[in-house]
Amino acid sequence: MKHPHCHGASARFVVVAALAAWLGVSQAASPAFVVGDPVRVTRSEMLLFQGKNLAGAAKGQEFTLLKHDAAKKQVFVAFMKDDGTLVAASLPDEAAEPAASRATSDLVRGAEAFRDQRYDEAKRLFTRAAQDKQQAALAGALFTRVNGAIGSASLARTNAASKTAATTTLQTLRDTAEGLAKAGMPSLALPLDEGTDRLGAQVPGLTVPATKVDRPDLTKRATISQRSYLLARQAFALKQLVTASKHVAAGLEAEPAHVELKAMQPLVQKDVEEADSLCKTAKKLQRQPNGAVHALSAIDDGLKLCTDHADLRELRKTLAAAFEERTSPQVTPAFLAMAKVGTAGTILEEGRKLYTVRCTECHDLEMLDGRSLAGWSGMVSSMGRRAGLNDTEKSRILEYIGAAQKVVEAGGAK
């Protein structure tokens, strides 16, 4: 292998292809969305599975496209549940857009296409991957070796004298797979090696060189890295960084050269460390006279960085009453007197109930003074769509938030 130093590829499950087949995918179904390529969520949206809410998707989050149903205006994407089950989740196509494909992902998809005997697709993906400077050497080498092996095998089917040359090209693929495995790229090495078997089987009487890799070990490692990458990517998008960190570590242990996991690792670590620092600050402020308000702000800032930070969440529970005053104060006579709004208390209470119940289905409540009322209006409009709120319910929530903001800014209703 001439390029053992090249980076590894992003992981993909064979199950993704199976899901796409189950959905009845046609590769040419849409000129805008390409099956297998990534799509980006353009707004906060709720993913559905079998018609039911599955999970919230953050704006900018990316998924692998399985199908675009133009008639129903839906896209189906690969989503991994916490138990490791990969499912086809859906969202409105107006809430998604094609995203730039990663070269490392194209390398793995190209190897998988070669394994599955979709040779034109393999060449296309290797060619696209070669446009990336970092992956150009490896992609070019794979294209040359795969293309050469395919051509030699085709010639050997009709010309017995060409079988020796075909065996030589298959041996090159075996050596390449071995080099990739040693370089920490099981997700790339495994399909390339398996594809060598299938290509060789197409030529009767051809001597196919024996594999040089430990396939059970590669299968185990590739499965772990693929699962870890998808879970890490989903957790990272939702700022569940402690969870993401664990998945990144597990993925890199299985596939040390995984480019996306290696790139994600320092980003996760940086924000977790900052959340740790904010947690320490909050604990210090909590012990100081009149330091609770500042402690709450530090906790809130930390949880915005890392929503699953255990110590911050525990500290938030400890200061639950103080948090309620800043995030969702009760509608009391003192509240109404301080808010000085014309809205009836019953309507404000209805808005508070909707806000504290429906708006916490996907995330914790935020500090009310953390954004302007205009900012809250945009947030409620976006999140209300995910929560299935109608216009009246969204209006009730905003009426409550507007009144509660005045109370919080005035120091709270005592």
- 263 in the same domain as 206: no
Domain count, the chain: 4
138, 107 contact by CB (below 8 A) = yes
The DSSP bridge partners found for residue 76 are 67, 90
Q: Do 51 and 24 belong together in one domain? A: yes
Q: Quick one: CA torsion of 221, 225, 228, 230, rounded to 10 degrees?
A: -140
**DSSP string covering 220-282:** HHHHHHHHHHHHHHHHHHTT-HHHHHHHHHHHHHH-TT-HHHHHHHHHHHHHHHHHHHHHHHH
Is residue 390 exposed (0-12), middle (13-18) or buried (19+ Cβ within 10 Å)?
Answer: exposed
Residue 367 and residue 338 share a domain: yes
pLDDT of residue 152: 97
- Per the structure, the complete domain to which residue 403 belongs is given by 324-409
In a domain, 414, yes or no: no
Token pair 């209805």: residue: 350
CATH number at residue 85: 2.30.30.40
Domain boundary among 275, 290, 318: 318
Nearest CA to 233 among 57, 384, 406?
57
Residue type at 206 in one-letter notation:
L
pLDDT of residue 311: 97
- Complete DSSP assignment for 119-159: HHHHHHHHHHHTTSTTTHHHHHHHHHHHHHHHHHHHHHTT-
Q: Is 294 inside any structural domain?
A: yes
Domain end point (choices 100, 119, 141): 100
Largest CA distance in the chain: 96
pLDDT (0 to 100) of residue 153: 96
Report pLDDT for 27.
Answer: 44
* Residue 366: half-sphere exposure toward Cβ, Cα within 13 Å: 17
pLDDT confidence of residue 308: 96
Residue 356 lies in a domain: yes
Residue 309 to residue 242: CA distance in whole angstroms: 6
Ordered strands of the 62-69 beta sheet: 52-57, 45-49, 86-92, 74-80, 62-69, 38-41, 96-98
Closest CA to 400 of 325, 333, 329: 329
- Same domain flag for 365 and 296: no
Is there a contact between 281 and 298 (Cβ–Cβ < 8 Å)?
yes
Does residue 282 sit in the same domain as residue 268?
Answer: yes
> pLDDT averaged over consecutive 10-residue blocks of the chain (414 residues)?
41 49 48 88 92 90 95 96 92 94 95 97 97 96 97 94 96 98 97 98 95 97 95 95 97 96 96 97 88 88 95 91 85 90 90 86 77 86 78 91 88 65
Statement to judge: residues 226 and 242 lie in one domain = yes
Assess whether 147 and 227 both reside in one domain.
no
Which of 318, 346, 372 marks a domain boundary? 318
CA distance 41 to 61: 5
Q: Do residues 271 and 335 both lie within one domain?
A: no
Query: In which element (H, E) is residue 170 found?
Result: helix 163-182
154 plus 201 within the same structural domain: yes
